[in-house]
Structure 1
Amino acid sequence: MTATQPFVITADEVNCLIHAYFQDSGFVHSAFVLRAEGHLEKSEHFGQHVPRGELVELLSKALLYSEAEAHWKGNAMTNNCKAPFTILNRHVCSLDPSLPPTVTFQPPLPPPDTVHPVTNGTAEKRKASTSPAPEEVPKEKRARTEEMEVDSMTTSTEQRPADSRAQSLPETVDNPVPSTSKVEVETHLVPPDDIAVGMLKGHNSEVFVCAWNPANKNILGTGSKDTVMNIWHLHEPSPNEPTPTSESPLTFVHRVDVEQGDLTSLDWSPDGKLLAAGSYDTYLRICDSSGQLYLAESMQKKGPVFATRFSPSGQYLLTASIDGSVCAWDIPKKALYKQYRHHERCCLDVEWLSDDVFVSCGVDSNIHVVKLDTDAPLETLSIHSDEVNQIKCNPQRTLLASCSDDGTARIWDVGDVKLGRASSKKPVTLSGHTSTVSSIAWCPEDQTADYEILATSSLDGTARLWNSSTGECLTVFNDHMASIYTISFSPDARLFATAGADGHLHIYDVKSREVKWSWRASGERIAIFEIDWQQSGDLNRIALGLESGLVGVVDVAQIPALRIRQ
C-alpha cells in the first residue's frame, strides 16, 4: 500500500487562481490591485495557464465533497434531503415536504422561566453524525457543532421566537421568554443486566455538560445543545430500587433566535443555590436550584461564552468569551463588576486562585494571572507554543496545570504569584502525548503519596497520570479506540475515570493503574461528552452527559469490582 501523498496549497497559488478569476470576469482593476499587492510577478505560478472558470470548478468539487461528507449515512433524512448546498451557508438537511411526517410532538411547555415538571411524551429527535476520529475532535471548551453535522427534522421545525429584549433581559420571571421546547422524560431506561446504570431522558439533543450540586447531594444539573438546562432530583438508592432514578426534571429554557446555542459550561455556586451556564449563543444564564431565572445577560459584543466559574465564596462569577475578554460579575448585585481584555484572541478557560485572584488562558497561548481590582495582569505565563485549552488548580490552590495544542501540559507554582510576588520557579513540563492535550484533572489530596498526581487526556486517544513534582509519566491508559473527551478522579482519590468519542467509560484503580470496570453507551450516537463524580456519605455516583440526549447515572456502590475491600 502506498502512503497517502500530502496536499499542498499555498497562498501564492490561491492568489494566482483568484487573479485569473478576476481577469475572466472583467474585473480589470481588481486584478491589477491583487497583482500589485500580492507581488504576483515574482511568483513562479504567475505565468502558468489557468483554465477559464477554474476557481468555480474547484469550488463546485468542494461542494460535492461537502455533500458526500454530510450524506454518507444514507438514512431517511439524508436520502430525502432537499436542502441545497451553498458555499457560504452551513448545510442543514431538510426532508422532502411531500413525504408524510414521521415524528409526533407533545404540546409546548408553559413559559420557560418558570418551573414546571416535564410530562411523558414523544419529542423531536435530532441526530448527529457518528463520533469523529481523534484528530477531528474539538477542544473541551468549544462548541461541538464544528465536528458534528446535525440532521434537523424540518418537517416540524422547532420555532424559536426572537427575543425583542436581547439587550435588556429580565432579571425575574415576571416577563418570561416564549418557547416551544418539547421535552420527554423516562427515568427507568436501563438494560436489564446493568442495574448500576440509570438513564434519565429529558433532553432533545446532545447533553454536553453535567454537574452535581455541591450542597444538595441529590440534585444534578445538566445542559444540552439546544440550550435547555434540567435540574434533576434523584431518589435515594434502596434495596428495592437499586438503579439510579429521578423525579421529572425542573426544566429551565431561555432561548434566543440563533442557529447555534450549544451550552459550553455549567457551574454551581459553592452554596448550591445558583447554576450558571455559558453558551455559544452569546448568553450568560443563571437560574436558582428551583429552576427560576436569576440572571440572563447578552454577551453579543463579546461573542460565545466558553467558560463560567464561581469564586470560592460565590461573590463573583467569571465568564470567558470568544473575543478574548473575561468578565467578572457581582452575583448579589446582578451586575458586571469589571471587564478584562488581556487576551488577543479567544479566551477558552478561567480558574480562581483565591476569592480575588483568577487565571485565564486562550488561543493566543498566554496564561494571565489577574487580581480583580487591577487592570494589568499580576503575571503572564507564556511558555506554551500553541493554544492553551484548559487550566486547573490543585486542591491547595498553590499549583496551576495547563494543557495545550502544542501536545504538552505544564505545572506552574503560583503560590507567590497570587500574593503579588513574581515567581522565579520554572514550570514542570509534561511531554509524551502525540496530539493536542485537551483535558487535565488533579487527583484529590492523597495522604499516602509524597507527590500530587495530575491526569491528562489527548486527541491521541490516551490518558496519562503524572508525578506533578518531577514531570514523570506514571502510566499511559490506551483502552479507548477514539478521542477522550472527559476525565475525572473519584473524590476519595481511589479511582480514575475516562470517557469519550467511542462511547466507553473506563474506571481505573489509581494505585494499581488497572481497568476495574468498563461500560459502553448503546445506539448510533454513543459519545460521552462529560462526566462528574459525586461522593457523599454512602453515595458514590457518576453523572454522564451523552450524545444520545440521555443523562447517565452510574451507581458506583452497586458495582462489585469498584467496592472498597476491607
Structure 2
Amino acid sequence: MMSLISADSGDSTARIWTIADGPSGTSAQTSAPRPLVLKHFKGKTNEKSKDVTTLDWNGEGTLLATGSYDGQARIWSKDGELKNTLNKHKGPIFSLKWNKKGDCLLSGSVDKTAIIWDAKTGDVKQQFEYHAPTLDVDWRNNVSFATCSTDKMIYVCKLGESRPVKSYAGHQDEVNAIKWDPTGTLLASCSDDFTAKEIYTIKWSPTGPGTNNVNQQLVLASASFDATIKLWDIEKGAQLVSLTSHSEPVYSVAFSPSGEYLASGSFDKCLHIWSVKDGSLVKTYRGSGGIFEVCWNKEGDKVAACFSNNTVCVLDFRL
C-alpha cells in the first residue's frame, strides 16, 4: 500500500516527498527524490519566525494546512500550491485542525486566542480569547471544540457562543495536549503535573464505536519526553504496550485511518511506523532534523511531518 507522510519544519518551507519502496533501514527508504518545496517565506526573515510548528490534512486529503511561528496559517493543495494565507493571530500558532466537514479550520496561538476560519474564503468566523497561551485545540464536532493552555485550564467552546460552554480545572500545571475520542464523548488531556516524565501529546485511535473500524478496540496513545510511546486500554486503564525505539523526546504520534498503524516523530530525526496490533516497528524514515508533528491523510497513503530544520515533508511509502 502506498502512503504519504507530512511533517513540521524550520527553513520556512514545506516539502512533498516520494519515498521509494524498501524494507525498514534500507537506503531506498532513507533517501528520496528531489522534493516539492512549499515555501512559507521569500527573502530574508528572522530565523525563529520561520519555524513551521504544526500541520493537518483535511478529511479528503486534498488540502494541507500549516501553522507557523510567524502567526500565519497557510492552506496548500496536495500538489504544493499555496491556496490561502490566514492573517489574524499576533503570535506563534502551536496547533491547528480541520473540522470533519472540511469547511472550517481551527487554530490556537500564543496570542491567547483560538480562531475558527472559513476554509474557503479565509475569513474569520469567530475569535475566542479565554486563555493564556493556547497550546492545543481539537474539534469535538463540526461546530464545537476544546482548547488547552499554559494556564492549566481546558475549555469547551462552540461557534456562535461568546463564552465557553464548559470548563475543566483539574490540572496543576500547563496542559500540553487534548484529544476527543471518535464519538466526542471522552476528552483526554495530558499535562506537566504530577509526572516524573512529562507527556507531550496524546491521540485516540480511529477505532471502536462511531468510527469506520467499529470492530476494533479503542486505544489511546501517549508520547513522552522520555522517548517512549505507550498504548492504553481505556476501559481497563491498563497499558497495552510500550514502544521504545526512539532515542530522544517524542513530540507527535498519529494513527493511520485504518487504526492498524501508528506514526511517531521524535527529535532523534526519525519517523517510525509501528504495528498497533503487536507493537512491532514496521518502517523508519530518517530526516535531517527533529520532528515536531506527524499526520496521515484520509487514504492512509501519505504522512506529513514537520522538521526542526525548517522543512515540511509529505512522504509516500509502501508498508
2:121 maps to 1:336: no
Residue type at the aligned position of 1:391:
I
2:111 maps to 1:323: yes
Q: Which residue of 2 aligns with 1:396?
A: 183
Task: Report SS of the residue matched to 1:361.
Answer: strand
2:151 maps to 1:364: yes
Q: Which residue of 2 aligns with 1:284?
A: 73
Task: Report SS of the residue matched to 1:355.
Answer: coil
Residue type at the aligned position of 1:376:
R
2:286 maps to 1:521: yes
Instruction: Pick the aligned partner of 2:169 from 379, 382, 385.
Output: 382
Q: In 2, Cα distance between the equivalents of 1:503 and 1:368? A: 33
CA 1:550–1:254: 2 relative to 1, 3 Å: closer
Q: Which structure has more RCO (C-alpha within 8 Å, separation ≥ 6)? A: 2
Q: In 2, Cα distance between the equivalents of 1:532 and 1:221? A: 6
Residue type at the aligned position of 1:359:
A
Structure 1 vs Structure 2: percent identity of aligned residues?
A: 30
How much has 1:293 moved relative to structure 2?
A: 3.7
2:93 maps to 1:305: yes
Q: In 2, Cα distance between the equivalents of 1:342 and 1:507? A: 37
Q: Which residue of 1 aligns with 2:13?
A: 228
Q: In 1, Cα distance between the equivalents of 2:305 and 2:140? A: 28
The answer to whether the Cα contact below 8 Å between 1:531 and 1:543 also exists between their aligned partners in 2 is yes
CA 1:494–1:342: 2 relative to 1, 3 Å: same
Residue type at the aligned position of 2:173:
D
The answer to whether the Cα contact below 8 Å between 1:489 and 1:496 also exists between their aligned partners in 2 is yes
Report which stretch shifted further, 362-371 or 461-470.
461-470
Structure 1, gaps ≥5 residues long: 1-195, 197-216, 408-432, 558-566
2:139 maps to 1:352: yes
Q: Which residue of 2 aligns with 1:502?
A: 268
Task: Report SS of the residue matched to 1:464.
Answer: strand
Q: In 2, Cα distance between the equivalents of 1:270 and 1:476? A: 29
Q: Which residue of 1 aligns with 2:230?
A: 464
Q: Which residue of 2 aligns with 1:269?
A: 58
Query: 1:496-547: CA deviations, max 9, x gaps?
Result: 344423345555443334x34464738xx564444444684xx756555555
Q: In 1, Cα distance between the equivalents of 2:73 and 2:99? A: 16
Q: In 2, Cα distance between the equivalents of 1:354 and 1:389? A: 21
Structure 2, gaps ≥5 residues long: 23-27, 209-213
The answer to whether the Cα contact below 8 Å between 2:19 and 2:315 also exists between their aligned partners in 1 is no
Paired residues for 1:54-203 under 5 Å: none
Query: 1:119-138: CA deviations, max 9, x gaps?
Result: xxxxxxxxxxxxxxxxxxxx
CA 1:294–1:448: 2 relative to 1, 3 Å: closer
Q: In 2, Cα distance between the equivalents of 1:381 and 1:375? A: 17
Q: In 1, Cα distance between the equivalents of 2:126 and 2:264? A: 37
Instruction: Pick the aligned partner of 1:295 from 80, 84, 98.
Output: 84
How much has 1:441 moved relative to structure 2?
A: 1.5
CA 1:294–1:402: 2 relative to 1, 3 Å: same
Which structure is larger by alpha-carbon Rg, 1 or 2? Answer: 1
The answer to whether the Cα contact below 8 Å between 1:359 and 1:369 also exists between their aligned partners in 2 is yes
Q: In 2, Cα distance between the equivalents of 1:269 and 1:541? A: 12
The 4+ residue runs of structure 1 with deviation greater than 6 A are 217-220, 235-238
Query: 1:276-323: CA deviations, max 9, x gaps?
Result: 2211112222334454443324346x3111122222222222121112
How much has 1:273 moved relative to structure 2?
A: 4.3
How much has 1:247 moved relative to structure 2?
A: 6.7
Which protein is richer in strand relative to its size?
Answer: 2
The answer to whether the Cα contact below 8 Å between 1:350 and 1:358 also exists between their aligned partners in 2 is yes
Which protein is richer in helix relative to its size?
Answer: 1
Q: In 1, Cα distance between the equivalents of 2:301 and 2:77? A: 25
Q: In 1, Cα distance between the equivalents of 2:95 and 2:85? A: 15
Q: In 1, Cα distance between the equivalents of 2:61 and 2:7? A: 14
Q: Which residue of 2 aligns with 1:39?
A: none
Q: Which residue of 1 aligns with 2:192?
A: 405
The answer to whether the Cα contact below 8 Å between 1:504 and 1:518 also exists between their aligned partners in 2 is no
Task: Report SS of the residue matched to 2:248.
Answer: coil
Q: TM-score, normalised by structure 1?
A: 0.47
Report which stretch shifted further, 460-469 or 264-273.
264-273
Q: How many residues align?
A: 305
Paired residues for 1:222-261 under 5 Å: 223-232=8-17, 234=18, 248-249=35-36, 251-255=38-42, 257-260=45-48, 261=50
How much has 1:227 moved relative to structure 2?
A: 2.0
How much has 1:400 moved relative to structure 2?
A: 1.8
The answer to whether the Cα contact below 8 Å between 1:357 and 1:371 also exists between their aligned partners in 2 is yes
Q: In 2, Cα distance between the equivalents of 1:221 and 1:501? A: 15
Q: In 1, Cα distance between the equivalents of 2:143 and 2:200? A: 27
How much has 1:402 moved relative to structure 2?
A: 1.3
Q: Which residue of 2 aligns with 1:424?
A: none
CA 1:224–1:506: 2 relative to 1, 3 Å: closer
CA 1:357–1:555: 2 relative to 1, 3 Å: same
Task: Report SS of the residue matched to 1:402.
Answer: strand
Query: 1:125-167: CA deviations, max 9, x gaps?
Result: xxxxxxxxxxxxxxxxxxxxxxxxxxxxxxxxxxxxxxxxxxx
How much has 1:457 moved relative to structure 2?
A: 1.2
The answer to whether the Cα contact below 8 Å between 1:252 and 1:291 also exists between their aligned partners in 2 is no
Query: 1:61-104: CA deviations, max 9, x gaps?
Result: xxxxxxxxxxxxxxxxxxxxxxxxxxxxxxxxxxxxxxxxxxxx
